[in-house]
Amino acid sequence: MTYFLQLLGVQIDKLAKQERSKKLLINVLGSFFVKAISMAITLTLIPVSLKYTEASTYGVWLTLSSVIVWFNLFDFGLSSGLTNKLTESFAKNDIQSARIYLSTTYYFLAVIILPLSLIFFVASNFIDWNVVFNTTINKAELRTAIYLMYVSFCFSFLLKPINHVLKSKQKHFVLSSIQVAGNLIALICIVLMGDMFSSKFIFLCCVLSFTYPIVLLIATLVLYLGIFKDIQPKMVFASKKHFKNVFGVSAKFFIIEISVIAILMSNNILIAHLVDNQNVTYYNIAYRLFSIITIFQYMIMIPLWPAYTDAYTLKDYNWIRSAVSKSNKLNFALCIPLVLMFLLSDQIYFYWIGDDIKIPFEVNLLLMIFVGIGTFKESYVSFINGVGRVNLQAVYSAVTIVLQVPLAYFLAKHLKLGLTGILLLNIFWVVIGFILWRIQYAVIMNSNSTKKIWQ
């Protein structure tokens, strides 16, 4: 980790003198150890889960979990907008506003989840889930799994503002620790109790769905009764005026989040329907491998989001330029292990999951390219999100939402490229995004453009 900090040109003693950079340093160093544990657990979960399911059944679980992620969109970007508003409030030491923003978000999340749940449970009775997921799994078993996962989603949905409090307070080490604890408990449960249940699919869904929200609930109670007692949310602090302030930014984040899901999370659905569920497993295993690089990068990028908000609010432009420059140096350094992972991918898969599943060469190649370009894109996205200049992202995201499915169908079915076609489309989107966000960063930092698209 020290090596990467040196690549960034960071001198630890100098860094510690500046409060914002000191917080960033603490988060990066702390997150390094937590993320290392997280990666080990996540990578272990795949072969352990495959032990209790077939590749196609595990593909159904992956697709199902992707759909549940989609439901998070129904907060209309409130949580992402909350991060920026809380960071601004903390930068100005306005604790009362922070508490109002937080209480307002919790209140409106509860308002959203009630009608959403009613619609889901009523509509579910008229949906053939086997057709949706393109599977022959027992219908009653699949429906039960879907209901269980939806309930777990509701808990996570209502509890997730604490994650954004931790982000805005730049306590990413704590946030990562919560996620790791959930995955670790899930792994332990699968190993110890996997043979005790007749329906391995239902057991897998229960364990992987509920461990995280339970840990999140415990963390929420502990934090609001402890270090965050001064911003403890209460219904009496909910405010329509503050909701409008949060929602002004949140609506744009909402469109952006839909785009991210349209490109990444919808891959499982698209692959399941345009190719097959076995290829869903291929894609997810390979993506887990190469996303190790993304995880390392996120240890820097995620803490930088609120740091950029803080710096931009206080007009510390030199710090911003320095941070972006250094993050790009890190990206070049990360390309070295990325290429090595590609060259050694067959050996890695053999020792990781055995020789029962063979990942095609082109899948590894395309995912390496996608992750590599994506790391450079994120350097600018983190800044743009942090300063709230997301109009261009919203427009671009709307375009990807409209075009993702027809283009995926054209490439996978019409041109008969299958999984390769879908991955090529993902690369296309990430290249366009990188070009646009690099230009927007330059416009924001080097000019006073009043054009709405740059705002």
Three-state SS sequence of 362-411:
HHHHHHHHHHHHHHHHHHHHHHHHHHCCCHHHHHHHHHHHHHHHHHHHHH
Average pLDDT of the residues in 174-183:
84
pLDDT score of 367 more than 70: yes
Contact between residue 357 and residue 349 where contact means Cβ atoms under 8 Å apart: yes
pLDDT score of 82 more than 50: yes
Q: How far apart are the first and last CA of the chain?
A: 36
**Ranges 141-155, 258-272, 417-431, most confident:** 417-431
How confident is residue 209, by pLDDT bands cut at 50, 70 and 90? confident
Name the pTM for this structure. 0.65
Average pLDDT of the residues in 69-80:
57
Least confident of 19-28, 162-171, 176-185: 19-28
172 or 261, greater pLDDT: 172
- pLDDT value of residue 401: 80
Write the CA distances from 211 to 13, 133, 216, 304, integer angstroms: 39, 24, 9, 28
pLDDT score of 88 more than 50: yes
Q: Give the 3-state secondary structure of 91-136.
A: HCCCHHHHHHHHHHHHHHHHHHHHHHHHHHHHHHCCCCHHHHCCCC
Average pLDDT of the residues in 235-246:
71
What distance in Å separates the CA atoms of residue 14 and residue 183, rounded to the nearest whole number?
A: 36
- pLDDT value of residue 183: 83
The answer for residues whose C-beta is within 8 angstroms of residue 170's C-beta and 6 or more apart is: 23, 24, 27, 303, 306, 307
DSSP string, 282-308: HHHHHHHHHHHHHHHHHHHHHHHHHHH
What distance in Å separates the CA atoms of residue 363 and residue 127, rounded to the nearest whole number?
A: 33
What distance in Å separates the CA atoms of residue 90 and residue 444, rounded to the nearest whole number?
A: 23
